[in-house]
Amino acid sequence: MDHPLVKYLRPGTIPSTFCPGCGCGMVLNCLLSAIEKKKVDPKDIVMVTGIGCSSWIPSPMFKCDTLHTTHGRAVAFATGVKLMMPDKKVLIIAGDGDLSGIGGNHLVHAAHRNIDLGVMMVNNRIYGMTGGQCSPTTPSDLYTTTTPYGNLDQPMMAAELMVSAGANYVARWTTYHVRQLTKAMEELMQGEGFRFLEIISQCPTHFEKDSKRTPTEILDFYKENSIPVAEAKEAYDGQLGSRLTVGALAERKRDGYMRRLEAVERKLRADMEGEAQKNAAGTREGKK
């Protein structure tokens, strides 16, 4: 018997191209579980992805309309899709390098626009597909293939950045928290405005190259080092050894971009009709 979620996959995409122990499979499983639970028709979803390991979750695995775009630009492509398909759920899956590095500007602006997109940032804190280079979320001092003397940068806090940029919904969970992740993905699909989920995910191949931790050891580490936002005494700073604050960082009820746009369009249509009626009345007056 097939796995109950296999029906959502394009035929021939299993086995996947992910490394053994990669978190991307777990992210896919959570997403499909959320879709199953909320009875969302995949025909109502458009998936937009960028370049990187996690962009290969929907492209080609998830069977729905999929736009696999250039590196970093998924959010900008998705903005065009959403504007012309307001009834679809437009979801983005991409990595930390794609969304917070090369595409950081688009991410900030989509959040400040509060446009109705759901973004899942799979944060493995490294460039996996290109062979383990330092990314904007890589912890300081870490050795990567492009930081042979240790990373000089501070890790970018993408979720916190999204809160200050004005996103309606922002949450962070890890691949250990599969139930909470699934729930957060339901939030991405049902709410209004810009919705952002940071998923701390393991990359046993590159990020753990020196630590040699196994995937289960990493998940145990996530479990032991996570603390709910409300209970955290110190802010998570993305560094190794810092406690991962998990949960919802923002849950706002501001009107989304599409609602605001549609209101403007409704008013414009009414004004134009009013104008046309006035002109028609004027013409009749003139004829008398």
Partner 1 sequence: MNPSLPNYLKKQEGKRLFDLGDIACAWGALYAKCSFYAGYPITPASEIAEFLSKELPRTGGRFIQMEDEIASMAAIIGAAWAGARSMTATSGPGFSLMQENIGYAVMTETPCVVVNVQRSGPSTGQATKPAQGDMMQARWGTHGDHEMVALCPNSAQECFDLTVRSFDIAHALRVPVLLMLDGEVGHLRETFDLKLPETGLNLPKPPSPSDAPPFGGNPVPPQVLFGEGRYLHVTGSTHKPDGTRDVTTPEVHDQLVRRLCRKVDQNRHALKDVEKDIPRNSKTVVLCYGAPSRPAAAAVEEARKEGLKAGYLRLRTVWPFPGDELEKLPRSVETVLVPEMNLGQMSREAERFTDRKVVCASKVGGVCHTMREILSKLREVS
| Interaction site with partner 1 (CB under 8 A) | 10, 42-43, 46, 48, 59-60, 63-70, 73, 76-85, 88, 105-106, 108-109, 261, 264-265, 268, 272
Q: How far is the CB of 12 from partner 1 (least distance, A)?
A: 8
Contact in structure between 122 and 54 (CB atoms under 8 Å): yes
Pick the closer one to partner 1 by CB: 68 or 209.
Answer: 68
Burial (CB < 10 A; 0-12, 13-18, 19+), residue 83, is middle
CA–CA dist 116, 82 (Å, integer): 8
Pick the closer one to partner 1 by CB: 14 or 268.
Answer: 268
Q: How far is the CB of 105 from partner 1 (least distance, A)?
A: 6
Bridge partners of 127? 133
Pick the closer one to partner 1 by CB: 141 or 262.
Answer: 262
Q: How far is the CB of 68 from partner 1 (least distance, A)?
A: 4
Q: How far is the CB of 46 from partner 1 (least distance, A)?
A: 5
In three-state secondary structure terms, 102 is helix
Pick the closer one to partner 1 by CB: 6 or 268.
Answer: 268
CA angle 104, 105, 107 (to 5 degrees): 65
